[in-house]
Structure 1
């Protein structure tokens, strides 16, 4: 079968290419998926350059997402021909991932593709969509409503950010987007943002320990100073979620938002999230949270395009979501 393989040389450098490799053999309580679509995520790009925080086993097939049909299984939970997907867990990290024609995973990682959504659309969502859905769920479950005020989305042109903007707009929120890409302002408005603030201006404006209350909620995808400054603007009893670190893994902030306004900061993890929670999020994404702007944030590529697209991601030049047709 064809697969996108990353290799580590003796001098500890990394290379990647499309290779012909053996189809994986189904073991006990495994599912072998005949892949139809996968996607690209920042974590995949890091894996492709040998980031040890993501992948330590080489040669390695990237791809933390995959959708397709059950080709073979030894699990009673699934039958051959069922439409399934996998995101998170160890897929694409130290377990060969979704950028291959066949993918073997433990049955405990596998979710069912909901009715009413295609494999391409479910992979347009992928880990990014799942993360966005889990973030928005936390806002809603903690009492944030459209009538409470605007919601801020940071890193808004990225995969998680784009989908979060689209879903929030669909369900009635006024969305303010923060982005470092001036050329993408119109794109962000097209997918649902009512206002776009450029990253430099946002950081420059938030110099005080606290700023005037503005946002009922925040979906942060980047970390660092952007998140620290966003916390200063949250209204009393507001909520921020954080799920990314492309700006920085450090958070230099103060306690004022938490002790003077009762602000809550909630971490989002879509990797080890329980399967039933994932399945519930997929069901929402296929139904009431399915966004009409999905096509406008999607770039379809082939296995052969993965390497060049990783470079765009690592340089911070990617926009929207990239789905891989297998």
Structure 2
């Protein structure tokens, strides 16, 4: 079968290409998925250049997402022909991922695709969509069911889907981006206002600023998250899921003890399967967006290498959908 394979040439030197590899054999409580679609995520791009925090096992097939049809099953929970998806866990990290024609995984990682989503649609969301939906779900479950929401890194996969879902749910959405030429794009997704990254005063060292936002969905971390916390209204909520700006957070306790705000971390990798199923069902229903095609670039295996370069150089917009 065909697969997008990353190989280690020597220390800190890697190469990637499409190769013919063997179709894997499944063991007890495993399934073999005939892949239909996958996607690209920042973590995939890091894996493709040998980032040791993501992948240590080489040769390696990237792809932390996959949707498809069960080809073989050694599990009582799945039969041949079931339409399924896998996101998270070790898929695409040190276990060969979704950028291959057949994918072997433990059955406990697998979810049946909700009836009103296709294999293509669900991979249009992928891990980025799951992360965005988890973030919005946390806002709702913590009492932020309306109001003004700030989204950082808004042209990225998580950010762009978050903007779209929030708009559908009738929040007032303020989007931050470093790409001036994408202001109109964000407004077509539903942003009410766009702030350019250089205009967001992250160098301001005041411990608190005027209350402006009911909630924040942060996808970049670092000083952008730290500055956002100072702008949240009393009893507001911030979620964080990314670190493209920085993994460090230099902040103070005033927003937490004087305004009672909450900062909630979002993990889409190791959460319980039951919670993943709940959020995918929300994506299939109340969170389902009609403008998803506006933020998707469709590619195949041969386009992955260039797409990774775009992601790592911050040139990518929205989502990459990979047809296998």
Q: What is the TM-score of this pair, normalised by structure 2?
A: 0.99
Helix, strand or coil at the partner of 1:227: helix
Please list, as runs of the form range in 1=range in 2, the aligned pairs for 1:281-296 lying within 5 A after superposition.
281-296=279-294
User: Contact (CA 8 Å) 2:202, 2:224: kept in 1 or not?
Assistant: no
Residue in 1 that maps onto 2:36: 36
Task: Write out the 4+ residue segments of structure 1 that deviate beyond 3 Å after TM superposition.
Answer: 204-207
Using the TM superposition, give the Cα deviation of residue 261 of structure 1 relative to its aligned residue in structure 2, in angstroms: 0.2
Task: Please state whether the residue corresponding to 1:14 is helix, strand or coil.
Answer: strand
Write the distance in 1 (CA, Å) between the matches of 2:12 and 2:186: 40
Q: Any conservation in 2 of the 1:203–1:225 contact (CA below 8 Å)? A: no
**1:131 matched residue in structure 2:** 131
State the Cα deviation string for residues 278-323 of structure 1 (Å, max 9, x = none).
0111111111111011000111001000000000000011000000
Match of 1:18 in 2: 18
Question: Which shifted more, 197-206 or 125-134?
Answer: 197-206
> Structure 1 CA distance, aligned partners of 2:81 and 2:30?
15
- Measure, in 2, the Cα distance between the counterparts of 1:112 and 1:242: 28
Compute the displacement of 1:245 (Å): 0.2
In 2, the alpha carbon distance for the partners of 1:6 and 1:161 equals: 28
Cross-structure match for 2:105:
105
> Residues of 2 paired with 1:243 and 1:169: CA distance?
20
1:66·1:98 contact (CA, 8 Å) conserved in 2? yes
Unmatched segments (≥5 aa) in structure 2: none
CA distance in 1, matches of 2:125, 2:316: 16
Name the residue aligned to 1:6: 6
1:98-247 to 2 correspondences below 5 Å? 98-146=98-146, 149-204=147-202, 206-247=204-245
Report how far residue 253 of structure 1 moved: 0.7
Which range moved further: 285-294 or 77-86?
285-294
SS across alignment from 2:248: coil
SS in 2 for 1:193: coil
Unaligned runs of 5+ in 1: none
Partners of 1:160 and 1:203 in 2: CA distance: 23
Q: Secondary structure at the match of 1:254?
A: coil
Q: Is 1:264 the counterpart of 2:251 in the alignment?
A: no
Residues of 1 paired with 2:11 and 2:242: CA distance?
31
Shift of 1:203: 2.8
The CA deviation at 1:200 is: 1.3
* Cα distance, 1:205 vs structure 2: 7.3
- CA-to-partner distance for each residue in 1:89-137, whole Å, 9 max, x for gaps? 0000000000000000000000011011111110010000000011001
Residue 68 (structure 1) aligns with: 68
Give the deviation of 1:10 after TM superposition. 3.2
In 2, Cα distance between the equivalents of 1:12 and 1:222?
A: 26
Aligned-residue CA RMSD (Å): 0.9
Calculate the TM-score normalised by the size of structure 1: 0.98
Instruction: Output the CA distance in 1 between the equivalents of 2:193 and 2:263.
Output: 23
Q: Report the Cα distance in structure 1 between the residues aligned to 2:193 and 2:253, rounded to whole angstroms.
A: 28
Aligned counterpart for 1:300 among listed residues 273, 298, 303:
298
- Whole-angstrom distance in 2 between the partners of 1:214 and 1:114: 37
How many positions carry a matched residue from both structures? 324
Question: Partner of 2:10: helix, strand, or coil?
Answer: coil
Secondary structure of the 1:203 match is coil
Instruction: For 1:150 and 1:80, locate their aligned partners in 2 and report how far apart those are by CA, in whole Å.
Output: 46
Shift of 1:204: 4.9
Seen in structure 2, the aligned counterparts of structure 1 residues 300 and 255 have a Cα distance that, compared at 3 Å, is: same
Deviation at 1:12, TM superposition (A): 4.0
